[in-house]
Structure 1
Amino acid sequence: MYQEGLIEVTGGKVWYQQFDENGQGIPLLVLHGGPGSSCFSLQGLKELSKERPVILYDQLGCGRSERPKDESLWRIERFVEELGQVRAALNLEKVHILGHSWGTTLAAAYALTKPAGVNSIIFSSPCLSAPLWEKDQRRNLKQLPLEVQETIKRSEENGTTDSKEFEAAIEVFNKHFVNRLEKKPEWLEKRPKEYWNAVVYNIMWGPSEFTVLGNLKEFDCTSQLKEITCPTLYTCGRFDEATPETTEYYSQLTPKSRFHVFENSAHMAYIEESEEYIRVMANFLNSVDRK
């Protein structure tokens, strides 16, 4: 069974889709990365709907959701509120949450409001501290050719992160730390460019991956991870921009957590090692359901 629709949230309406092959497991709600991206690249997670309903939605301002012009909406507190509104609209009294990248930031911020009925959280390629993320990217950059490093540094300093040379340098970075596949899947190449909203990204993060200038600049929930007491799974790729060292550090701070590294992936293990990713997620979710 497949359904899609719009849900009224603070500031507008968000688009969602639900996959369900009559699985009896607790539903899985997926939070995409960004901010300002969409759930398009996470479509493969519908494979998990053999055992449970799987719900994906585009956060307000991006993808197929509405795009209000009110820039005061682009703050984490409103996205946390939005997540609760999506849950309520879909009657998700019990739910597993899977966040990827910025989606883990949102998942953690939501979990720390102590909502009822969250059976587990998966932190996939997590960003739970903007300062730590920034530090890791500085270290990652040092693994790239000097010319690429200098281009990125110069573009940030000169405010030319919209230039062709910066774009070319980012391509090199992405091949190392985001998606290491030689060729992206054909369906992913068809992702509409208009699904992305740079305004949301710039307000919350900034013009560059490497230096956080947006309103998430001070976000760091590491001291509160001990408060997340539901079962948790932390995953990342061996070559992930969300580094294995930092991901394991988060896991060590979280009770009842597990840690897994996808050995042949960077930041998009759900595409780079799609079958293994689904296997690891299914095993974790089923183990929580059995308890």
Structure 2
Amino acid sequence: MTLAPSVKGTVPFGEYETWYRVTGDLGSGKPALVFVHGGPGSTHDYLLNATELSELGNPVVHYDQLGNGGSTHLPDKGADFWTVDLFAQELDNLLRQLGIQDNYVLYGQSWGGLLVADHAAKQPQGLKGLVIANAPASYPLWLQEMKVLRDQLPPGNNEILLKHEAEGTTTSDAYFEAMQPFYEKHVCRLKPWPRDFMASFYEMYNDPTVYYSMNGPSEFHVVGTLKDWGVIEGLAAIEVPTLLISGRHDEATPVTVQPYADLIPDVSWEIFEESSHMPHLEEPELFIQVMSTYLKSLG
């Protein structure tokens, strides 16, 4: 398959810069499909295979959120700087700078799912559709379910994790090694991990400023500024057709996703049976099929 050419660049965001990549023609007349990555503090790389969707005529936009990847790094900024509002403003700014604010679809993965739900609840006129992938509706729900999943780890594994968390040694090799069974079961079940996923993983490892500030030391130990945040209150205000995506083995368990299904008026939910937190990588053909059907349904 020959993909449309990609254009890469940066747009100004105040005194900083946001890196972006566009695959396809922004002037095609079809809604631009904007991918909002997870983390917070990850990069676009692990979502790159979605460029295939540009074959439908929808231009595909990836970007790196402030603080990582090709965007401005700010390792000296404290937790008070890294707010949900900052990243909401960055998304709004990107849409305006690219001239797509009147005709776009948002795809938010993991933390990005909460961010796009928050955006959609404000009922922007140019938003035509919404995909919330592998995302909890709140971090309190997420933490509740993390305990359930951690208790199912191999005997002794969670005890090692708890010991390091209590002692503040979560940057140690021992903690990193003890994290792996969880990640291999609930984050990405492919072995070896795909190159695009590893690229994002190492970007976040090399500059964990945002992730550590907002999330914490691991997927299942959220002690950062997001630990009490969620988007449940705004979900009933979302007006656009919404697709929910999750994996059967996802760290974003059905309990964490259920509020989206219950409260968004026009919603459907696709569970990928062989996937965890990365269905677009774990079941790529089915992912393209599901997304193609959804995008065509928007007209």
Deviation, structure 1 residue 105: 1.6
Matched residue SS, 1:218: coil
The 5-angstrom pairing of residues 125-144 of structure 1 reads 125-144=134-153
Structure 2 counterpart of 1:13: 17
| Cα distance between partner residues in 1 of 2:83 and 2:8 | 26
Taking only the aligned residue pairs, the percentage that are identical comes to 34
Deviation, structure 1 residue 112: 2.5
CA RMSD of aligned residues (A): 1.8
Structure 1 counterpart of 2:64: 58
Question: What 5-or-longer segments of structure 2 have no aligned partner?
Answer: none
Structure 1 counterpart of 2:227: 217
Partner deviation per Cα, 1:89-143 (whole Å, 9 max, x = no partner): 0011210000000101211222233322111110000122010001111101111
Tell me the number of residue pairs that the alignment of Structure 1 and Structure 2 aligns: 289
Matched residue SS, 2:156: helix
Matched residue SS, 1:183: coil
| Cα distance between partner residues in 2 of 1:265 and 1:49 | 23
Give the partner amino acid of 2:6: Y
- Give the direction of change, closer, same or farther, for the CA distance of 1:282–1:23 in structure 2 (3 Å limit): farther
Instruction: Decide whether the 8 Å contact of 2:141 with 2:255 is kept in 1.
Output: no
What TM-score, normalized by structure 2, do the two folds share?
Answer: 0.91
Partner deviation per Cα, 1:187-242 (whole Å, 9 max, x = no partner): 54455834553111111112232232221122122132111111101110000000
| Cα distance between partner residues in 1 of 2:289 and 2:88 | 29
Instruction: Decide whether the 8 Å contact of 2:139 with 2:230 is kept in 1.
Output: yes
| Cα distance between partner residues in 1 of 2:273 and 2:201 | 30
Give the partner amino acid of 1:266: S
Is residue 39 of structure 2 the alignment partner of residue 70 of structure 1?
no
Matched residue SS, 1:84: helix
Give the partner amino acid of 1:153: L
The 5-angstrom pairing of residues 139-150 of structure 1 reads 139-150=148-159
| Cα distance between partner residues in 1 of 2:211 and 2:30 | 34
Question: What 5-or-longer segments of structure 1 have no aligned partner?
Answer: none
| Cα distance between partner residues in 2 of 1:216 and 1:184 | 27
Structure 2 counterpart of 1:266: 276
